[in-house]
């Protein structure tokens, strides 16, 4: 089983208008509400790719919580370790999406910031996925208990202790995050995946590039959630025992499919869709 230690948000998405510059107001956007949060996205992505998934997370005891958890629940993600916290708000992400599919995101973490080491001390952890939208102590406690793959998505880019990096078998970053962490990403035996947007991704091991992959051509509608799908798909493929280059190709293909539909969780692909696109 995959245990995801991560965030749950409700995404408020304004789409169809140009992205504003600082101090600028734009109008004409359409508003939509989607379940989101990088941890929740990754959990649902892994479940749709065929894995049993449990999410360790926190939401507020408010009217946004069930809306934020709706697709996870219907998608078969185990929410028994997801808490409802009095006095906290469910996390919210304010997202602007341009007509070209590029986005700007502001996150209000709310209950996500309350997750702690005690919250991961319940059921055994086999494979663990984590993201930096929740406190590092919770991630470290989970990583130290995991008996299988430990995969960390170092997003957003923040200083993290060496002790957490030392637990990781797989680190996933984008170009900006890779520049932030530099050589600290690389350690003997560790895999590091660097996503390159429309250019695909690279996979590094022992400080050298061992594979690269370009995504299939798709019509981009919305890039929100693509990075989360890439991370979950790469971890899932490695857990399944795919060869490293094949796992990277699988991950960029899944990420590309996510860009073809609006919203984070509604756009996450099913395993059959990824397999079909790979065959073409």
> Which residues have CB under 8 Å from 18's CB, separation 6+?
26, 98, 99
C-alpha to C-alpha distances, 187 to 113, 134, 179, 235, nearest whole angstrom: 29, 24, 16, 18
How far is Cα 34 from Cα 215, in angstroms, rounded to an integer?
25
* CA-based nearest residue to 131, from 171, 101, 92: 171
CA 66 to chain CA centroid, nearest Å: 20
Q: Exactly one of 62, 78, 119, 228 is catalytic; which is it?
A: 228
Between β-strands 170-174 and 150-153, what pairing exists: parallel, antiparallel or unpaired?
parallel
How far is Cα 179 from Cα 81, in angstroms, rounded to an integer?
34
In angstroms and rounded to an integer, the radius of gyration of the C-alpha atoms of the chain is: 18
Evaluate whether 165 touches 229 at the Cβ level (below 8 Å). Answer: no
Judge whether 228 counts as a catalytic residue. Answer: yes
Helices (H), the chain: 38-48, 65-74, 136-145, 162-166, 175-181, 226-239, 244-258, 271-279
> Which residues have CB under 8 Å from 171's CB, separation 6+?
151, 152, 154, 165, 185, 190, 191, 192, 193
Structure tokens at 162: 């060496």
Catalytic residues: 228
């Amino acid at each position: 089983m995959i245990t995801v230690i991560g965030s749950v948000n409700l995404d408020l998405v304004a789409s169809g208008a140009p992205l504003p510059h600082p101090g600028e107001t734009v109008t004409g956007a359409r508003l939509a509400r989607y379940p989101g949060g990088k941890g929740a996205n990754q959990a649902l992505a892994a479940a749709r790719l065929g894995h049993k998934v449990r999410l360790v997370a926190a939401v507020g005891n408010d009217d946004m919580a069930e809306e934020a958890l709706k697709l996870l629940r219907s998608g078969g993600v185990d929410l028994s370790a997801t808490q409802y916290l009095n006095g906290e708000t469910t996390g919210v992400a304010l997202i602007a999406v341009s007509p070209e599919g590029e986005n700007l995101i502001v996150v209000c973490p709310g209950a996500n910031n309350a997750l702690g080491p005690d919250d991961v001390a319940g059921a055994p952890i086999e494979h663990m996925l984590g993201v930096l939208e929740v406190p590092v102590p919770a991630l470290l406690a989970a990583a130290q208990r995991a008996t299988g793959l430990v995969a960390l998505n170092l997003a957003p880019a923040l200083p993290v202790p060496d002790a957490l990096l030392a637990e990781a078998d797989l680190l996933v970053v984008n170009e900006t995050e890779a520049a932030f962490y530099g050589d600290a990403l690389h350690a003997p035996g560790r895999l590091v995946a660097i996503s390159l947007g429309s250019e695909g991704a690279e996979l590094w091991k022992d400080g050298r590039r061992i594979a690269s992959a370009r995504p299939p051509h798709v019509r981009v509608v919305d890039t929100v959630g693509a990075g989360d799908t890439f991370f979950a798909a790469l971890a899932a493929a490695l857990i399944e025992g795919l060869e490293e280059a094949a796992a990277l190709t699988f991950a960029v293909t899944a990420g590309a499919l996510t860009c073809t539909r609006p919203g984070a969780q509604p756009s996450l692909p099913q395993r059959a869709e990824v397999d079909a696109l790979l065959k073409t």
